[in-house]
Amino acid sequence: MSSPLPINFLQSAARLNQLPDRVLELAFIGRSNVGKSSLINALANRKKLAKISKTPGATQLINVYELNPEGSGNWLVDLPGYGYAKAPKQEMDRWRRMIEEYLIESPSLGGVYVLIDGVVGPTALDLQTIEWLEHIDLSYRFVATKVDKIRPSKSQGRRKDLVNKLGVEKKDVMWVSASTGSGIPQLRSEILDYFA
C-alpha cells in the first residue's frame, strides 16, 4: 500500500486573483458527478477532506489543496464539474468562465487530470473539453473513475470502448476506484513524481 498523499485544504476561490502565490499546480477537471471530491479523499485517505455530495454540482468554487509541507506552494486543484444542468444558466455560465479563466491564466498550472466516468464513458462534453484543452495547449492525462461499478464480465469491453472513444492507447488511461482503492497507489506516485 502506498502512503496517503500529505495534502491539506488551503482555500476556495471564485476568481483566480483571489489565490495566493504558488509554485506548481495540478488540476482535476471532469463533469459533475464524476467523483473528483471522492478521488481527492481517496488520494489523501481521508473521508472528509473534500466535501462530497449526493447532488452533482456541489463543487462551485476553485478548491485548493496544498501538498505538505505547508507553504510548499505545490497545489492540487479541484475545479467545479461541468455539464450539470440543474443549476440556473447564469450560475453555470459563471462556473464555466471561472474554470476557463483558471485554466488559461494560472501561471503555475502544469497540467490537468481529466476525469472520465468509467461506467458512462466519455460524453460529448468530455470530448469538447479535451478539444478545448488541446486548443489552449494545456497538457492533460486521463483518469477513468468508478472502475468498481463495472461488472467484471463487461470490464474488457468497457475499457476498450472508452479508449477508442478518446482516441488514445490503453496505457494513456489510468483506471481508479475511490471506494475500493484500486489504482489509487499508482495515481499517488504519479502525482508525487510530478511535483518532485
* Pairing status of strand 109-117 against strand 24-30: parallel
* Pairing status of strand 74-78 against strand 62-67: antiparallel
- Cα–Cα distance, 127 to 8 (Å, whole number): 31
Cβ–Cβ contacts within 10 Å for residue 103, how many?
20
pTM of the full structure: 0.93
Q: Which burial class, exposed, middle or buried, applies to 136 when counting CB atoms under 10 A from its CB (0-12, 13-18, 19+)?
A: exposed
Q: In the block, which residue shows the cell 474488457?
A: 156
Q: Which burial class, exposed, middle or buried, applies to 131 when counting CB atoms under 10 A from its CB (0-12, 13-18, 19+)?
A: exposed
User: Are the C-beta atoms of 38 and 178 separated by less than 8 Å?
Assistant: yes
- pLDDT confidence bin for 58, thresholds 50/70/90: low
Least confident of 17-31, 70-84, 145-159: 70-84
Q: Which domains does the chain have, with CATH numbers?
A: 7-195 (3.40.50.300)
**pLDDT attached to residue 93:** 82
pLDDT digits (tens, 9 = 90+) for 9-28: 999 998 999 999 999 999 99
